[in-house]
Amino acid sequence: MKEKAVVRTNKPYRSAPSVFLRLFSVNEDGHETLIATSSPIPKIAAAEICQIFEQPFTIAPSVDSLKAVLKIPGRTAWASATASEAQAAALQACLQHDIRTAMGVLVMVTLSPDCAIVPSLKAVTNVIHREAPSVIERTLVVGFDEGLYGQLWVDVLAVGL
């Protein structure tokens, strides 16, 4: 059976503007093991990441690829964009911050059920690769949302800036 991943947040202190993401692996009997803790991440980014992992139709990355991204230390940046074309949404998200120096990128793509998954993901990954060619670690999480109606939503968490 494939190992399941769970992501949770942890606040360093009550008034902090950011949180830590904690990645747990869950084995068959439900036992959780902490395998990675991120650098501080904006609360809005952490909420979106946790929400997409809880969706029933989420295609999550491997635990190892997610761990590789979250364990990269340093400053983080969060960007999000919605568009009817995958390339446009990814480019809008990438241009919100200078991600060329990022060491890792977590990309979350939320598709409407009528989007073509393969061409959409290919377009998003091509834009991410072009905008951040020096990224060492990448991981992709895919989810579906019926409320998008012909659009897709691209979230980018750049780490190690």
Q: The whole model's pTM is what? A: 0.86
Give which of 48, 56, 60 is closest to 21, Cα–Cα. 48
Q: Average pLDDT of each block of 10 consecutive residues along the chain (161 residues)? A: 71 78 85 89 86 78 87 92 93 91 92 88 93 90 86 93 90
**What's the confidence (pLDDT) of residue 2?**
55
Fold of 44-159: 60s Ribosomal Protein L30; Chain: A; (3.30.1330)
R_g of the chain computed on alpha carbons: 15
Map out the domains of the chain as residue ranges. Answer: 44-159
Residue 143's pLDDT is what?
Answer: 87
Q: What pLDDT sits at residue 80?
A: 92
